[in-house]
Amino acid sequence: AGAAMAEGEGLLSVDYEVSGKVQGVFFRKYTQGEAKRLGLVGWVQNTSHGTVQGQMQGPVARVRELQEWLRKVGSPQSRISRAEFTNEKKITALEHQEFQILK
């Protein structure tokens, strides 16, 4: 098995948007921390309409973990009302170097 990744462990790219009390509660910083812990790349930013949005890329199982985290956990002070995931697609290579917070 000379493959860099385990069988069936393709890479996934998913866009996300989280609604609720998610701005001003270190949500981006915690999301970045969780993504880095899982070894994911992508980005996160606040939107002008009070949500947090971004993109995550990495092994399918890890992406699923961050999706669950965005649905249910978030930062300690946050209150998530909804997490939406869109543009899910298989990718052959990561399109980001790291997971960063965009202004």
The structure's pTM equals 0.90
Give the DSSP letter of residue 25.
Answer: S
Catalytic residue status for 87: no
Which residue of the set 37, 46, 71, 82 is catalytic? Answer: 46
* pLDDT value at residue 2: 42
Mean pLDDT, the chain cut into blocks of 10 residues (103 residues total): 54 98 97 98 98 98 98 98 98 96 94
**Which member of 28, 62, 64, 79 is catalytic?**
28
- Cα distance between residue 79 and residue 77, in whole Å: 7
Which domains are present in the chain? 16-93 (3.30.70.100)
Q: Do 59 and 9 meet the contact criterion of CB atoms below 8 Å apart?
A: yes
